[in-house]
Amino acid sequence: MSALRQLGLVVHPTRNIEGVVQAILDWASAHGVAVGQVPIVGQARAMVDPVDAADCDFLVAVGGDGTALHALHAGADASRPVLAVACGSIGVLTSVQAGAVVDALDQVEAGRFTAQPVPGLEVIANDRPVGVAVNDVAVVRAGPGQILVAISVDDDLYARVAGDGAVVATSLGSSAYSMAAGGPILAPGAHGMVVTPLESHGGCTPPLLAGNDSMLRLDVGLSFGGMRCEIDGRPADMAGHTLTIGHRDAYATLIELADQESRLEGLRRRRIILDAPRTAIRDQEE
């Protein structure tokens, strides 16, 4: 009989995941483990009976990186770790492939995993808490025209940028929106918050890496088109035009299996990171 008692599923709202969910249910039945579904606000898909995240030993995200983010937030509120399973996704957070889910569950049951702390970004707008980001928080223009963003670190002005806005990423989230906008990837073991301007019009504003103990401030000057705030890609209710962003060392927890590939290996395998064409030619010549 397994020492585990309850698993909590967080599922993709539309993707074909029935086979993976059935494999999880079969494994759980064979090991005497109950399975429920952790409700996510705004998602109507129900595959098993609901369960509270706090009543689970750990959560299993079945989908892509977006599903994993939902599970990490739900797990953070209940102090529960998350095993993220990729179903047709090339994401970074979903380290377990769908066909390996049974082996992954066996490893977790056997204790062959590490509970890896996941940092977060605490977001405050005009002295009011807005939320916590696992990947990133962005202020972006909502219509025609540029927005102006003054970026400050510990009350020191770094730069004032005019363009589409700016994105602040965690070390884990540095390979998502921030990377797409030209920001650096923070390798495992590197810490800090990356601030990357979005399509800045003129000036010299390279991405900035701030330390974990710093406080960032984004002061937004509106254009006639307006702006919006997004936390992990979801719209957030931002009151006023100033965001204050601080780092939280261990907001959530992600399960890393004993035989899991490194994050950089995953980026290369998924071809998110590609070698220069000249290296491929040289490899062919050797």
- Tell me the pLDDT tens digit for each residue of 131-166: 999 999 999 998 888 899 999 999 999 999 999 999
Residue-wise pLDDT for 258-275, tens only, equals 888 888 888 888 888 889
CB-based contacts of 270: which residues, under 8 Å, 6+ apart? 90, 92
Residue-wise pLDDT for 14-62, tens only, equals 999 999 999 999 999 999 999 999 999 888 999 999 999 999 999 999 9
**Is pLDDT at 112 greater than 70 in this prediction?**
yes
Going by their DSSP bridges, the two strands 136-141 and 227-231 should be labelled as: antiparallel
Cβ-based neighbour number of residue 137 at 10 Å? 30
Query: Of 65, 136, 164, 232, which residue is the catalytic one?
Result: 65
- Distance, CA of 104 to CA of 78 (rounded, Å): 22
Separation of first and last alpha carbons in the chain? 54
Structural tokens at position 145: 């025209």
Is 65 considered catalytic here? Answer: yes
Q: Structure pTM? A: 0.91
Question: How far, in Å, are 70, 72, 149, 248 from residue 266 at the CA level?
Answer: 21, 19, 33, 25
Every domain of the chain and the residues it spans: 6-112+258-285, 120-250
Answer yes or no: are the C-beta atoms of 153 and 161 closer than 8 Å.
no
Query: May I ask the CATH architecture of the domain 6-112+258-285?
Result: 3-Layer(aba) Sandwich (3.40)
> Which single residue is written with the structure tokens 């696992």?
134
Q: Give the CATH class of 120-250.
A: mainly beta
Sheet architecture: strand order including 227-231? 208-210, 193-198, 165-169, 136-141, 227-231, 234-236
